Structure 1
Amino acid sequence: MTSFSVPINESGQVSKENQSGSALPAIVGLSTISLCLIVVLILWISILDDPAGGRPHVSVEITNATAQLDLGTVGVANVRPSMTPDPEDLSIDPLLPGTKMRAIAASPGTITAAPDANIADSEEPIAASIHSNAHRLSVFPLDNMVARSEYGLIPKRSGDGMTPFSVYSRPQQFIPEGPKIALVIGGIGLSQSTTAQALVELPPTIALAFATYGENLERWKKLSRENGFELLIEAPMEPFNYPQNDPGPHTLLVDATPAENKSKLDWVLSRTSNYIGVIPSMGARFTADENALTAFASELNKIGLAFIDPSNSVRSIADQIVRRASTDQLGHLPFLKVDVVLDGDATRASIEQHLIQLEELSNTKGLAVGYAQLRPSTVATLTEWLQLLEQRGVTLIPLSAAINLSMPKL
């Protein structure tokens, strides 16, 4: 309705004022919205430039815990680490003048390292490092040379008399005259990173002994055989101070029945395949007991596996028992006694001194056998020592060749 109390001209002015008054808030609102959109856009761009933008994150300093880890104090699952040395591993060390008795800090087969998860899952770096002069060895066991046990497949002689020792050994090659050395490295599979280092840096002439409680043994078996290494499997055996020193739940015991020890041995043998023999882990008391060792040696000869004795114990009667276990029907049990444990003291200087001793023995006896546990210091020292070994007139030969040279003729 038109207001007649207001002049016509004034009515028009009021209308314009009302319109301008209502438009001002709208303009302010639009400006505010636009400003908010610009701010949001700037924030969005800044967030996209930051890969962690929009997600809560914090910076934490990471230290290399592995470098500070003392592998000698770490145990393996279900295994009580050795806290004291086996009394029978006390021996006179000719390399330490004035020392009457010395405890071997890490006796052969002692579990001193836990599985290491720092190794990459990919096998390509190791597979690519296959030695150019290596003869690739079989990875899978022959069908006619496996038997089924309660724990899985274990090796056996074939129907025509072939043995795992002869079939899975490196091919026989010409061995020159002069001093010769064979080497065994034990504890393979306990440390994943050091096992990989050994496969890359050590020559395939060296035999590798797989730890019974090691990790990824099938993987390491495959890579080892592809690189041309001969393999052994470690069998935990009773030391003199058992159970203070406990090689683990599958330890072969002197007072156990032959059936009980046979069951434990089957478990050990089922851990992997394509090995040529067995080497004790600890075992000073077991290798000094006639009845227990006779049953063990007879079982190995029945299967066709070699027996390597790394014991420092003067009570070991392994060489005598092996001769008894050999029969006209089965032939000689392949056997070899270790001459020098290289890393009873795992320092570099001590390892080098024992390598010199091993070399001198090879010049005196013609053949010397060395044993060491898998450690970074051992691998590094051996690698350097081996580079000049041939120039000094000493030949590194496969373990199987050393066994064949040592076995009596039929």
Structure 2
Amino acid sequence: MSYSGRQKSTGLKSGGFGTLTLAWTGLALFLVAGAAVIQFADWSGKDDAVIIDLSGEPESFARPTGDGPVTRANDEMRPAITANLADDEAQSMPTVRAARPGEFAGAQTADAPTETPASEPQTEDEALAGNSNASVIRVEDLPRAGEAPREPAAKPLRVAGTPPPAADAALYRQTGNGPMPQIASDGRRPARYYTRTFAATEGAPRIGLIVSGLGLSRQLTDRAIATLPAEATLAFAPYARNLDAISRTANEDGHELMIELPMEASGISADQLGPAGLMTNYETDDNLRRLDWMLTRFTGYFGVTNYLGTAFSTDVSAMSPVIDQLRGAGLAYISDTRLADNISLSGIPNAQAGFVISGSGETLTAELTRLENTARDNGRMLAKIYVTEDNLDTVAAWASGLKDKGIALAPASAMLD
């Protein structure tokens, strides 16, 4: 704010030292002395801390309360399925208020009073211990007048083998269907945030493994989560029940997650794809509406992968809007089918799976051996396996034994371009 205006005449003659002049001079000296005392007190108190609540952008650090949305869908993926999901309740966000001197108020809860002063000043450690979202800035860390702002400390890097983080409220927005992935206001994208970190042994070939078809059989899904190495990426069918709860269990076990998009393939009817299947003869808006529904099934996944789709993924007018939607949501796309050459993947992390493995017994063993040899020849290979009761144990034992063969099992995100 700026001020402007004319000075009023005091009626004093120039050059005189009247009573009013002396009074103004004394007041000025008093203010200067007071400012010096305040400045000294502010900057000499090294043991005091000013705790600042970043209430302007709570979404950058707050977490939703409760366990998050739980979706309810159909029992199985089968013809004539009807997906009638109740709208999820909006998740509540903690509220914040500015801290008073000597106090820090963190995210409020229903049991916490809004205006309760602290009985005595808190130290930084006490304030942080009471609220994991606290941001503390010491007075001596603030720039003095005329100084340039100091560079913030670098964020610690996640070391290799770190599981993907839990769902972050800044990376989705609530819709009528459920939580829709989005790019956070600070630029973070699900495609990079929800990944398992990886660092291969120098010179070792790597195999990325996506285990698909999960969620429809709860027993099989629970077994897969429990027996597969954490480096295996898990992909869930969008029609599975309680995907939010299942995905949290998989996340806690260290796996990174994906969701499958059923797409049109030659010889496959729309009924076989389920009600959310993407078809070339649908209007673009109809396909995007189905896509939106699938993307809201759960939170915390880094990308999507196709289920079938040989016809849909090569149709530019049908597939391009889907890619655009995924790009805007900050998601990755991994395909095991060919995309049309003129579909742009610019700005979207992507990869192509070179192997789709199925079968059981000797056939499965031969396929896994061929995958190993191809990875050794090329240095890396990304594969997708549709898990079944018949092949899960074989796949889990094979994946766990890759390290002994000098091959690194990599999360699929490590293969992204």
Q: TM-score, normalised by structure 1?
A: 0.61
8 Å CA contact 1:135–1:227 kept in 2: the answer is: no
1:267 counterpart = 2:307: no
Structure 1 residues 137, 333: CA separation in 2 closer, same or farther (over 3 Å shift)? Answer: closer
Structure 1 residues 321, 181: CA separation in 2 closer, same or farther (over 3 Å shift)? Answer: farther
1:317 corresponding residue in structure 2: 339
8 Å CA contact 2:357–2:367 kept in 1: the answer is: yes
1:338 corresponding residue in structure 2: 353
1:200 corresponding residue in structure 2: 226
1:77 Cα offset (Å): 4.5
Runs of 5+ unmatched residues, structure 2: 1-73, 81-159
Matches within 5 A, 1:67-82: 77=76, 79-80=78-79
8 Å CA contact 1:297–1:321 kept in 2: the answer is: no
8 Å CA contact 2:164–2:193 kept in 1: the answer is: no
1:219 Cα offset (Å): 1.7
Structure 1 residues 172, 386: CA separation in 2 closer, same or farther (over 3 Å shift)? Answer: closer
Structure 1 residues 351, 254: CA separation in 2 closer, same or farther (over 3 Å shift)? Answer: same
1:257 Cα offset (Å): 2.2
Larger Rg: 1
Count of residues in correspondence between the two structures: 266
- Distance in structure 2 (CA, Å) of the matches to 1:160 and 1:188: 32
- Distance in structure 2 (CA, Å) of the matches to 1:227 and 1:334: 24
Q: Which amino acid aligns with 1:400?
A: S
Which SS does the other structure have where 2:235 is aligned? Answer: strand
1:241 Cα offset (Å): 2.3
8 Å CA contact 2:200–2:408 kept in 1: the answer is: no
- Distance in structure 2 (CA, Å) of the matches to 1:177 and 1:360: 15
Which SS does the other structure have where 2:195 is aligned? Answer: coil
Matches within 5 A, 1:10-409: 77=76, 79-80=78-79, 135-140=162-167, 142-173=168-199, 175-243=201-269, 246-311=272-337, 316-317=338-339, 320-321=341-342, 324-326=344-346, 332-343=347-358, 346-403=359-416, 407=417
Quick check: which one's helix share is greater?
1
RMSD over equivalenced CA pairs, Å:
2.3
Structure 1 residues 137, 335: CA separation in 2 closer, same or farther (over 3 Å shift)? Answer: closer
Q: Which amino acid aligns with 2:352?
A: K
1:194 Cα offset (Å): 1.1
1:251 Cα offset (Å): 1.0
2:96 corresponding residue in structure 1: none
Which SS does the other structure have where 2:390 is aligned? Answer: helix
Q: Which amino acid aligns with 1:325?
A: L
8 Å CA contact 1:372–1:378 kept in 2: the answer is: no
- Distance in structure 2 (CA, Å) of the matches to 1:300 and 1:144: 17
Which SS does the other structure have where 2:415 is aligned? Answer: helix
Runs of 5+ unmatched residues, structure 1: 1-74, 82-132, 327-331
- Distance in structure 2 (CA, Å) of the matches to 1:278 and 1:321: 20
Q: What CA deviation, in whole Å up to 9, does each residue of 1:346-368 have, x standing for no partner? A: 22211111101111110111111
Q: What CA deviation, in whole Å up to 9, does each residue of 1:312-366 have, x standing for no partner? A: xxxx225x355x231xxxxx311111111110xx222111111011111101111
1:134 Cα offset (Å): 6.7
Q: Which amino acid aligns with 2:164?
A: L
- Distance in structure 2 (CA, Å) of the matches to 1:244 and 1:161: 37
1:76 Cα offset (Å): 5.4
Which SS does the other structure have where 2:395 is aligned? Answer: helix
- Distance in structure 2 (CA, Å) of the matches to 1:270 and 1:227: 22
Q: Which shows bigger deviation, 355-364 or 164-173? A: 164-173
Which SS does the other structure have where 2:179 is aligned? Answer: strand
- Distance in structure 2 (CA, Å) of the matches to 1:321 and 1:208: 29
1:396 Cα offset (Å): 0.7
Q: Which amino acid aligns with 1:338?
A: A
- % same residue: 27
- Distance in structure 2 (CA, Å) of the matches to 1:366 and 1:171: 19
1:302 Cα offset (Å): 1.4
1:137 Cα offset (Å): 3.4
